[in-house]
Structure 1
Amino acid sequence: MNNNKNTAELILDTAQGLVQEVGFNGFSYAHIAEKIGIRTASIHYHFPNKEDLAEALIARYNREFVAKIAEIDSETTNNLDKIRRYMMIFSIPVDTYCTCLSVMLSSDLATLTEKVREKLAAFFTANLTWVERVLEQGRSEGHLQFKGTAQAQAHKILTSLQGAQLLARTFRDANRFNMIAEGVISALS
């Protein structure tokens, strides 16, 4: 059983890397099998079809996000620092000229099942809810300044980070992400 869990995690790790590099529709189980040296039947054992794989990827990604924001919340009370650390999560795939899983899945949205689309929307909702809460707290405590509602600002931040990933990838220039991220922080302080 433990070996199965390790194999399933290896499959998820490999699939996530492929999604972030080529999109959900840009790879098959044969690509995963080749990368990790197993048969496609082993992948089908853990994830009978690609929709099951997509659901597992999003569920894991969401769990990791929830854990990361809980870590951020526990390690700092400064809301500007929380936003900075949140933005660092988005910077991780930029160094390899990839985007985060959620951005790439959004690009393939029309071909994903309704269940996968719902899980992706729930992931974005979790992001927006957390950012909005941090913004509201920051403004009420005097750490953050911005015009408009926290809800609108949260949407601006999330879309700025997603767009920054796409530009950095397109131009193969991580500095474009950094420039946009710094602009987001400057607009809040």
Structure 2
Amino acid sequence: MNNNKNTAELILDTAQAIVQDVGFNGFSYAHIAEKVGIRTASIHYHFPNKEDLGEALIIRYRRQFEAMAEQFDAETENNLERLRKFILLYRGPVQDYCTCLGVMLSTDLSTLSGKAGEGVAELFKANLDWLERVLDEGRREGQLQFRGTADVQAHLFLAALQGGQLLAKSFRDASRYDRIAEGLLSALAV
């Protein structure tokens, strides 16, 4: 049983890396099987079809984000520092000239199952809710400054980072993401 869990996690890890590079429609189970060193039947055992795999990927990714957000909150009460940690989280894929799983899945949204599509929306909602709370608290506590509502600022922040990932990938230049991130923080700093 433990071996099954390890195999399922290895399949998910491999699938996530592939999706973050080429998108959900850019691979088959044969690609995963080759990278993991298993037969495609083993993948089908854990994830009967690609839709099941996509749903499992996005659920796991959202849970990982939620755990990281809780960790950010526990590590510091400074909301500007929390935003820095969020930026570093989004920078992770940039170093390999990839984008986050949510961005890549959203580009394939029209071909995903309804559950996977809903999962992408739930992932973005979790990001936006956390950002809105951090921005609102930061402004109330005098740590951050911005005009308008925290809701609008959260959308701008997330969209800028996602766009930064796409620019870094397109130009194969991580500094493009870094410039956007620095601009976001400097605009919010008191």
- Give the TM-score normalised by structure 1: 0.99
Match of 1:169 in 2: 169
Root mean square deviation, CA, Å: 0.4
Matched residue count: 189
Residue 114 (structure 1) shift: 1.2
Match of 1:127 in 2: 127
Match of 1:21 in 2: 21
Match of 1:154 in 2: 154
Residues of 2 paired with 1:29 and 1:59: CA distance?
19
Residues of 2 paired with 1:53 and 1:15: CA distance?
8
Residues of 1 paired with 2:6 and 2:24: CA distance?
22
| 1:146 aligned counterpart, secondary structure | coil
Match of 1:39 in 2: 39
| Structure 1 unaligned residues grouped into runs of 5+ | none
Aligned-partner residue type, residue 147 of structure 1: R
Aligned-partner residue type, residue 96 of structure 1: D
Aligned-partner residue type, residue 144 of structure 2: L
Residues of 1 paired with 2:23 and 2:143: CA distance?
38
Aligned-partner residue type, residue 84 of structure 1: R
Aligned-partner residue type, residue 63 of structure 1: R
Q: Deviations over 1:82-120 (max 9, x none)?
A: 011001100001011000100000110111111111111
Match of 1:63 in 2: 63
1:100 aligns with 2:100: yes
Aligned-partner residue type, residue 59 of structure 1: I
Residues of 1 paired with 2:77 and 2:152: CA distance?
22
Residues of 2 paired with 1:39 and 1:114: CA distance?
28
Identity of aligned residues (%): 66
Residue 77 (structure 1) shift: 0.2
| Structure 2 unaligned residues grouped into runs of 5+ | none
Residues of 1 paired with 2:126 and 2:36: CA distance?
32
1:137 aligns with 2:137: yes
Instruction: Kindly report structure 1 stretches of 4+ aligned residues shifted beyond 2 Å.
Output: none
Residues of 2 paired with 1:88 and 1:99: CA distance?
13
Aligned-partner residue type, residue 71 of structure 1: Q
Q: Deviations over 1:126-173 (max 9, x none)?
A: 000000000000000000000100000000000000000000000000
Residues of 1 paired with 2:137 and 2:100: CA distance?
27
